[in-house]
Structure 1
Amino acid sequence: MTQRDEQFHSFVLEKRAGLVRTATLLTAGDGHLAEDLVQATLTKLYVAWPAFRRADNPEGYLRRTLVNALTDEKRRWWRRHERPVAELPDRAHAPSPDPDDRTEGLRTALRGLPPRMRAALVFRYFYDLDVADTADALGCSEGTVKSQTARALDRLREVMQLPLTGVIR
Structure 2
Amino acid sequence: MRDEEFNAFAAGAWEPLRRTAYLMTGDLHTAEDLVQDVLTRVYVAWPRVEDPGAYARVAMSRHMMNRWRRATRRPRETALRVEHDTAMDDLAAAVALRTDMVAALTRLAPRQRAVVVLRYFEDWSEAQIAAELGIAMGTVKSQLHKGLRRLGVHLTSPPDEQRPADPVRCDSTRPAPDAALPAAPAAGVMPDAR
- Do both share a fold (TM > 0.5)? yes
Rounded Cα–Cα distance in structure 1 between residues aligned with 2:14 and 2:71:
24
1:71 corresponds, among 65, 70, 76, to: 65
The CA RMSD over aligned residues, in Å, is: 3.2
Number of aligned positions between the proteins: 147
Could you say which residue in structure 2 is the equivalent of 1:4? 2
Given the alignment of the two structures, is residue 118 of structure 1 paired with residue 113 of structure 2, yes or no? yes
Could you say which residue in structure 2 is the equivalent of 1:22? 20
1:38 corresponds, among 30, 35, 39, to: 35
- Identity rate of aligned residues, in percent? 38
Matches within 5 A, 1:49-128: 49-51=46-48, 53-54=49-50, 58-74=52-68, 75=70, 77=72, 95=83, 98-99=86-87, 102-128=97-123
Greater relative contact order (CA < 8 Å, ≥ 6 in sequence): 1
Rounded Cα–Cα distance in structure 2 between residues aligned with 1:17 and 1:83:
22
Rounded Cα–Cα distance in structure 1 between residues aligned with 2:25 and 2:144:
16
Which structure has the larger Rg?
A: 2
Which 5+ residue runs of structure 1 have no aligned equivalent?
Answer: 86-94, 163-169
Secondary structure, aligned partner of 1:77: coil
1:13, CA displacement in angstroms? Answer: 2.0
Could you say which residue in structure 2 is the equivalent of 1:88? none
Matches within 5 A, 1:131-142: 131-142=126-137
Secondary structure, aligned partner of 1:48: helix
1:97, CA displacement in angstroms? Answer: 7.1
Q: Give the TM-score normalised by structure 2.
A: 0.60
- CA offsets per residue over residues 56-95 of structure 1, 9 Å max, x none? x654432221112223444463655x6979xxxxxxxxx4
Q: Quick one: which amino acid aligns to residue 23 of structure 1?
A: A
Could you say which residue in structure 2 is the equivalent of 1:92? none
Rounded Cα–Cα distance in structure 2 between residues aligned with 1:157 and 1:83:
21
Contact in 1 for aligned 2:46/2:52 (Cα 8 Å): no
1:111, CA displacement in angstroms? Answer: 1.4
Q: Quick one: which amino acid aligns to residue 98 of structure 1?
A: T
Rounded Cα–Cα distance in structure 1 between residues aligned with 2:127 and 2:45:
24
Which 5+ residue runs of structure 2 have no aligned equivalent?
Answer: 88-94, 158-194
1:131, CA displacement in angstroms? Answer: 2.1
Rounded Cα–Cα distance in structure 2 between residues aligned with 1:127 and 1:18:
10
1:108, CA displacement in angstroms? Answer: 2.5
